[in-house]
Amino acid sequence: MVIATKFTNGYRNPHGTEKLKSNFQGNHSKSLKLSVDASLRKLQTDYVDLLYAHWWDFTTSIEEMMNSLHALVQSGKVLYLGISDTPAWLVVKCNDYARFHGMTQFSVYQGNWSCAFRDFERDILPMVEAERMALAPWGALGGGMLKTSDEYNDPKRDGRKIGPQDEKYARIAKKLKEIADKKGTIITSVALAYVMHKAPYVFPIVGGRKVEHLKGNIEGLAVELTQEEVDAIEDAEPFDVGFPQSFLFFGKPYRTRYTAKDLPLVTNIFAMETPPKQQPIPPKQGERELKLS
């Protein structure tokens, strides 16, 4: 078992009894100490395996936050550090500061990423590859929106339904269902497999209210997608990666597997071969192997 928790959010705000709410929110040292002490007390443990900075408060200095986090690791209350919902450039600066000063770096990034929401791929994904960080994406199942139009609008279905379904989710879900039917699995399993096929060390954050939801999530660990199937999922809804990648790759559909040999500015002048990027963990453990009852 791995125990993870976060700090930064104003966890005392709902109580309405604290006069100095700023003490309980943000990335500063006081917020960090109060939050971690409260988490350890509630969890009835002496330490946590992983502590995330929940988001960047655009106020606390990098030096203060990284020094305070490293002190927690040295104290034994925290083993590893993570960060979520923070710009890529800031994570790099934090890790650079920690590296240069012999301190603990962030080893995992958490953020919103799915086959229907690929903004993650502009800067976050290249950043974690360069920093050799793991990924813990939330929203990999699209917040309940990754269903075909018929499934989403079925009055008998249970689950989350927040207003009308965005058409892009319906288009992507249609392609997911085609692949799922071919593999004898379900849409959510393919959606989870998608993010785990995109990069090494991807550990999606998932939830569910029923045993079958859990089984579907576990089944996603065993689903193997070909590169053509990954591309087909992405082509179901075009993604604008934006400048400078759109300029460098001459506007062709962006693939995170691209290397220098796919760069027209290079290949228009001479032929080039490059090794592929580090590959994801191959699928091998799912419901079929775990034999859940």
Task: State residue 195's pLDDT score.
Answer: 96
First to last CA, the chain: 21
Task: State residue 157's pLDDT score.
Answer: 62
Task: State residue 15's pLDDT score.
Answer: 59
The amino acid at 110: Q
Task: State residue 293's pLDDT score.
Answer: 45
- Each residue's pLDDT tens digit in the chain (293 positions)? 899 999 998 876 655 666 667 788 899 999 999 999 999 999 999 999 999 999 999 999 999 999 999 999 999 999 999 999 999 999 999 999 999 999 999 999 999 999 999 999 999 999 999 999 999 999 999 888 888 777 777 666 665 556 677 789 999 999 999 999 999 999 999 999 999 999 999 999 987 777 877 787 888 888 999 999 999 999 999 899 999 999 998 888 889 999 989 988 888 888 888 998 999 988 875 445 555 44
pTM above 0.85, yes or no: yes
Q: What does each C-alpha distance from 31 to 6, 26, 65, 207, 230 come to in angstroms?
A: 11, 6, 10, 28, 42
- Domain 4-238 in CATH 3.40.50.970: no
Torsion angles phi and psi, residue 83, rounded to 5: -145, 150
Task: Report d(CA 192, CA 33) in Å as an integer.
Answer: 35
